Amino acid sequence: MFSRVLVANRGEIAVRVIRALHELDIEAVVVYSTADAGTLPTRLADRAVCIGPPSASESYLNIASVVAAGETTGCEAVHPGYGFLSENPDFVRACEDNDLVFIGPDADVMARMGDKVEAKRELAAAGLPLVPGTEAVGPEDAAKAAAEIGYPVLLKASAGGGGKGMRLVERADDLDDAFARASGEAQAAFGDGTLYLEKLITPARHVEVQVLCDADGGVLTLGERECSIQRRHQKLIEESPSPALDEATREAMETGVAGACRAISYLNAGTFEFLLAPDGSYYFIELNARLQVEHPVSEWVTGIDIVREQLRIAAGEQVRHTGRAARRGHAIEVRLNAEDPARGFAPAPGVIERFRPPLGPGVRLDTHIEEGSVIPPYYDSLIGKLIVWNEDRPSAIERSLRALSELELRGVPTTREAALEILASETFRSGRYSTSFLDETRLAAVGAG
């Protein structure tokens, strides 16, 4: 096992990784920008290294600075968390070139899976079903393909994620303009304006399968997560297991994913994302080659510490078990973002004036904030994640509502009120919801009432 590891991230995920390292008696070194000086991660770590000014491009995304921080402090490995450099194959190669073990998949797999078109090609060959669509297309080919597949269709960035470079096109007359806008947005966000096209599955659910894979071909699947409650194609609430899957579909999905992992020689933690159609059919959409924000719900239902397992695998150990992990009960995660739902979930930086976390059985709050914490405008708006577990879904919902009601979080607008309203709604309680939930449900907390 490693003796010292660099945490190449900030915020709540940096805190999460630091705690896992300390539980394994591993020294934690964390990087930080000048905007994050004095924050909880920098105080929890054994050592903190400033790597630049607030701009992410000059700090958390600066490969040379991050690698230098690892080298100068004598780290043996780097945990990237999620976001920033976590899915950057150039960063993985830089770590390898400087004798730093990257805690995740290798650069080749990451590059192939980061290209959504290539990922779909490979995973279709491995047996995973795909949404009807195309590989990379230009405007003319997109028009022909859309006419053959049938509207509505989605244009998606080949190198993208998080809803950037994505456009819904419902009519042929709108395709050219949507293509130009999506391609331009993708070029600005990812340096690659390549697009591909997919048939829109509607109403659809977003379901994903968590995996852990070792270098000897061992694969453990940790069940699925339901991630359909979203705004701007980004998740707000996740739960496990999904209320939409029967056991036969769940087993088939996990078996297919395990075979795909072996086919592409996947290593460490990863998440296979699927669209679930109303008739129960499911389609692979992408592989996230990193730890996911919502990993705690899988930890709750399986009892497996995913970050600890990431460290073990990166150190050359095998997954403890292969096949399908045993699971129990129901878990729900609520993302707490410094955003104003009444203004279209606009980011809302500021100062945390009052913070009191909820307590009690089956309640976990992953966060880096404290009273007086400054929420800067430079980074993602996530400030915490409330995760609860209980024996079944109805009791997990009630526990989530209780915990959110106890949570005191003042000073900046947050998604807390919206989450309370979503969890209390009959549509959510029924389990019969889709990715269109916020568009179809008039909720006062999100300015739709």
Using alpha carbons only, how large is the chain's radius of gyration in Å? 21
Q: Which amino acid is at 209?
A: V
Q: Which of 205, 225, 290, 327 is catalytic?
A: 290
φ/ψ (deg, to 5) at 249:
-65, -40
- CA 69, CA 75: separation in Å to the nearest integer? 8
φ/ψ (deg, to 5) at 268:
80, -155
- CA 26, CA 421: separation in Å to the nearest integer? 41
Is residue 290 among the annotated active site residues?
Answer: yes
- CA 175, CA 146: separation in Å to the nearest integer? 9
Burial group, residue 192, by CB count within 10 angstroms (0-12, 13-18, 19+): middle
Name the nearest CA neighbour of 159 among 189, 200, 184: 189
Residues 6+ apart with CB under 8 A from 178: 155, 167, 168, 169
CA 134, 264, 192 angle in degrees (round to 5)?
45
Contact (CB, 8 A) for 291 and 308: no
Secondary structure (3-state) at 254: helix
Long-range pairs of 389-394 with CB within 8 A, sequence gap ≥ 24: 389/300, 389/301, 389/329, 389/330, 389/331, 389/362, 389/364, 390/329, 390/330, 390/362, 391/329, 391/330, 392/329, 392/330, 393/239, 393/243, 393/330, 393/431, 394/429
What dihedral angle (degrees, nearest 10) is formed by the CA atoms of 75, 81, 83, 84? -10
Contact (CB, 8 A) for 161 and 119: no
77-79/4-7 β-pairing: parallel
Contact (CB, 8 A) for 2 and 77: yes
Return the structure tokens found at 279: 């008739």
153-157/167-169 β-pairing: antiparallel
Q: Which residues are catalytic?
A: 290
